[in-house]
Structure 1
């Protein structure tokens, strides 16, 4: 995979609060013991690559721990983007009391994204 395919530009991020809320309230949801993935189709006029939003509650830990979660989730998305269907907004958050484990996140993110997308179809 080339370096260009592994970038994570702003166009691939969910940044608006309304988009986060819409995905969480109206989208499909799938979870395992570590993360929860919410998925919702992008608007027809905005179709394009799947975007990722990460939300980490303060109960997860201090700023260092929350930033580690964000880095691992973004890295998993960035490196496994070809395995995730295009045209959706994904919002990912850790489960309550989950233990930070990069290998579990890497394995679970594409699988849970697929499950969440199936649940909205």
Structure 2
């Protein structure tokens, strides 16, 4: 992800957590906050309570890859934080991808497309 499309500062994350909305699924939680007239910015977190940096980093890579594939379908003008839920083992890619898609639909973050069909 490009630097200007990521949430990196602590105050940016805090603002989304405090003022934004939240939807939860089986393996992910999505926090989002509307920012009119701005682009889409995203952040990925996994709790340090998931022991082992290798596990945490793998979880974040799975989330980022799923996000990369659906990002063009998301509405702009939002700050979005995707949190990996705490599990003993890192979930597989398919469960992360499916959960992310369903959460974005529930949150109303998919673009409204008019195909003409």
State yes or no: 1:106 paired with 2:97: yes
CA deviations on 1:21-70 (whole Å, 9 max, x unpaired) are: 111122111111100000001254xx02x111111111112100010011
Q: Structure 2: which 5+ runs fail to align?
A: 110-117
Q: Structure 1: which 5+ runs fail to align?
A: 1-7
**SS of the residue 1:60 aligns to:** coil
Q: Judge conservation of contact 1:27–1:38 (CA < 8 Å) in 2.
A: yes
- Taking the aligned partners of 1:87 and 1:111, their CA distance within structure 2 comes to 20
State yes or no: 1:34 paired with 2:34: no
Match of 2:14 in 1: 21
Relative to the length of structure 2, the TM-score reads 0.81
**1:83 Cα offset (Å):** 2.3
| Structure label with greater radius of gyration | 2
Relative to the length of structure 1, the TM-score reads 0.79
- Taking the aligned partners of 1:9 and 1:31, their CA distance within structure 2 comes to 26
Structure that is richer in helix per residue: 1
